[in-house]
């Protein structure tokens, strides 16, 4: 099964580094970044999990819970976390799913046989409070993720939901945004975007980021 944007993120119950996780119950009303790792005790994954732990305040202020996954058992995860904390100078306090039977990886299409038959690729799922998949990113096992990009995607998705805008190429938090083409009524535009806008083309209208 291949998950697409707009699909409901599959629910599951699986062991983890902190005990059994009932995914939808654990997620609650939060956004979730759910991402997979090829295996425990691997170098790139160690740096990624360490970076995630150091970004705890950034995820917290966005109302995001982080959930990782590896196809190794929970005892292995807990021993690996000790290494991560030591080598990355951090404190991993988010759960890592122990997907030894690969059931969750299969539901989320994290196993790509042409890349590897035994380990997961580096998938990232952005899941909103309604349990909908809002964005995905997939890297090969050899390429570490950009967590600056992960935070940028979260900011873009949350801004789009709250203000009916889209974010243009290379957008960073605080940059100008574009008004959705579906908003045509001038009174609504004035109400939503009191800072005004510049119409480069009828379909390309630039406005300052509304929540700044």
- According to DSSP, the β-strands at 64-70 and 96-98 are parallel
End-to-end CA distance of the chain: 40
Residues 87 and 84: their CA atoms lie apart, in Å, by: 5
* Contact (Cβ atoms closer than 8 angstroms) between residue 31 and residue 158: yes
Is 90 assigned a catalytic role? no
Q: Which of 9, 21, 45, 159 is catalytic?
A: 45
* Contact (Cβ atoms closer than 8 angstroms) between residue 47 and residue 122: no
Spatial CA neighbour of 151 closest among 45, 68, 56: 56
> What is the set of active-site residues?
45
């Amino acid at each position: 099964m291949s998950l697409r944007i707009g699909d409901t993120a599959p629910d599951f119950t699986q062991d983890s580094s902190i005990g059994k996780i009932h995914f939808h119950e654990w997620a609650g009303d939060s956004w979730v970044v759910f991402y997979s790792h090829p295996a425990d005790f691997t170098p790139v994954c160690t740096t990624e999990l360490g970076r995630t732990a150091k970004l705890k305040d950034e995820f917290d202020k966005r109302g995001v819970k982080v959930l990782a996954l590896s196809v190794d058992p929970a005892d292995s995860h807990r021993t690996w976390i000790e290494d991560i904390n030591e080598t990355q100078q951090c404190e991993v306090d988010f759960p890592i799913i122990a997907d030894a039977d690969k059931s969750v990886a299969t539901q989320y299409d994290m196993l790509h046989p042409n890349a590897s038959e035994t380990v997961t690729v580096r998938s990232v799922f952005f899941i909103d409070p309604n349990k909908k998949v809002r964005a995905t990113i997939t890297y090969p096992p050899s390429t570490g993720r950009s967590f600056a990009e992960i935070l940028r995607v979260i900011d873009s998705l949350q801004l789009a939901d709250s203000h009916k805008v889209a974010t243009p190429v290379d957008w960073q938090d605080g940059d100008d945004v574009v008004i959705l083409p579906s908003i045509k009524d001038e009174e609504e535009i004035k109400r939503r975007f009191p800072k005004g806008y510049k119409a480069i083309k009828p379909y390309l209208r630039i406005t300052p980021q509304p929540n700044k």
